[in-house]
Amino acid sequence: MTRRWTFRAYPTPAQAEHLAQTFGCCRLVYNGMLAARTVAFQRGQRLTFVGTSAKLTALKRDPDMAFLNDVSCVPVQQSLRHLQTAFVNFFAKRSAYPTFKKKGRTRDSAEYTRSAFKFDGEAQRLTLAKLGVLALRLSRSVPSDPSTVTVSRHPSGRYYVSMVIEVTPVKRVSTGQSVGIDFGVFPLATLSTGETVPNPRHLGRKSTLLARAQRRLSRKQRGSNRYREHARRVARLHEKIADARRDSLHKLSTMLARRFDTIYVEDLHLRGMVKNHSLARSLSDASIGTAIRMIEAKGETVVKIDRWFPSSKLCSLCGHRLDALPLSVRRWVCPKCGTDHSRDVNAAKNILAVGQTVSARGAGVRTARTSVRKATRRRNVNHLKEHAHVSS
């Protein structure tokens, strides 16, 4: 099983200067080849990865571009592969058209393959081409040699090393328990057991400090030393918020993976949900998509049900369906059986019920990280009603 482990790196001043040059060369080559491919695309021509590689070879022979030979050739070549991947995703309609990389605005990175680094497993020491031994803070022992190593520098000034390694999956003790989860904003998650997970609102709690730091940054002259210093402060505050959010989501996903063998969630259309300007900031702060991806990576069996399944409007006891249920209504009484429902708990119970029913009938269910999308809304409702009649 392949996993990506990230560790903090502490380069020396000379190494930091060399890494800055490497990041600059990678960014220069990426932007230059993106411009060349854009011009070719507008002219109706096709410039492939092989063509950009040939252009890079000719570029290195140019006396004005001799500095490209001062850094390792592997990260520069890998930037062309990343550009090729971006175009493949664009033509497959999985992403937008590739954009240019901006200096200092985003995370700088350089990817090294096996030919450009050496990792000593006994000493747990990493050596990069033309850079030397890079000091790392290893939070755990690396069990095998990495296949790729990516060195990155965040806008806050921190350096990280990301390793792709092969690890042995840990066998967990089976609990025989299943759970349905309804994700939201307040609370973040509601379990079919009736438990709720509050939303930490990391961005909301730091919004005052963040706004103050951004106001101070706006008063500085762009490009000055004070501007760069305050830009690092703002980036550092953003990074603290992201770290706190990631930590809480890791704890949530680990808890769910250890307690339950099968986890049922909704296949939410998050891109469409964040277009609601009233909820966009809260949804982005909650990071529901990241939480679901973590659960899929850690859980034994994760099943996604159809996003159009009306989990909130169905009575989990008798299967009665309401015609409409506004988002502001958090509790409602079933007009058929008189059950008083909490909106989120009822939705979680329905997610669990329809997930178990569809999984039992084998609607394309795999043993791990599966999606049940073939079931239509009518079929899901019928399954839930059958489940309700059997349980009653």
Please give the Cα distance from 251 to 326 (Å, whole number): 32
Residue 367 has pLDDT above 50, yes or no: no
Q: Which two tokens stand for residue 277?
A: 């300007």
Share of the chain above pLDDT 90, in %: 52
Helix (H) / strand (E) containing 6: strand 2-9
Residue 337 has pLDDT above 70, yes or no: yes
Please give the Cα distance from 21 to 15 (Å, whole number): 10
pLDDT of residue 360: 67
Q: Which two tokens stand for residue 237?
A: 């505050």
In tens, the pLDDT along 370-380 reads 443 333 344 44
Helix (H) / strand (E) containing 370: strand 370-371
HSE-up (13 A, CA, CB side) for residue 328:
1
120 noted as active-site residue: no
Please give the Cα distance from 316 to 352 (Å, whole number): 10
Please give the Cα distance from 192 to 100 (Å, whole number): 45
What band does 264 get if pLDDT is binned at 50, 70 and 90? very high
pLDDT of residue 323: 86
The 10 Å Cβ neighbour count of residue 63 is 5
Q: Give strand pairing partners of 302.
A: 263
Please give the Cα distance from 29 to 355 (Å, whole number): 48
Of 100, 91, 84, 88, give the one whose Cα is nearest residue 35.
100
Residue 31 has pLDDT above 70, yes or no: yes
Cβ atoms 195, 259 nearer than 8 A: no
pLDDT of residue 369: 40
pLDDT of residue 362: 58
| pTM, entire model | 0.79
pLDDT of residue 365: 40
The two counts, helices (H) then strands (E), for the chain are: 11, 16
pLDDT of residue 58: 92
Average predicted confidence (pLDDT) for the chain: 86
In tens, the pLDDT along 59-112 reads 999 999 999 999 999 999 999 999 999 999 999 999 999 999 988 778 899 999
Which amino acid would we find at residue 181? I
Choose the catalytic residue: 108, 111, 306, 344: 344
Cβ atoms 316, 334 nearer than 8 A: no
267 noted as active-site residue: no
In tens, the pLDDT along 122-155 reads 899 999 999 999 999 998 899 888 999 999 999 9
Q: Give the residue with greater pLDDT, 309 vs 255.
A: 255
Choose the catalytic residue: 182, 285, 296, 306: 182
State how beta strands 331-333 and 196-197 pair.
unpaired
Q: Give the residue with greater pLDDT, 311 vs 378.
A: 311
pLDDT of residue 368: 39
Residue 159 has pLDDT above 80, yes or no: yes
Choose the catalytic residue: 266, 285, 296, 306: 266
Residue with tokens 């994760």: 302
Residue 254 has pLDDT above 70, yes or no: yes
Helix (H) / strand (E) containing 28: helix 13-42
Helix (H) / strand (E) containing 164: strand 159-166
Residue 327 has pLDDT above 90, yes or no: no
Please give the Cα distance from 359 to 303 (Å, whole number): 8
Q: Which letter does DSSP use for residue 176 in this model?
A: -
DSSP state letters, 221-280: PTTSHHHHHHHHHHHHHHHHHHHHHHHHHHHHHHHHHHH-SEEEEE---HHHHTT-TTTH
pLDDT of residue 361: 63
Q: Which letter does DSSP use for residue 171 in this model?
A: P
182 noted as active-site residue: yes
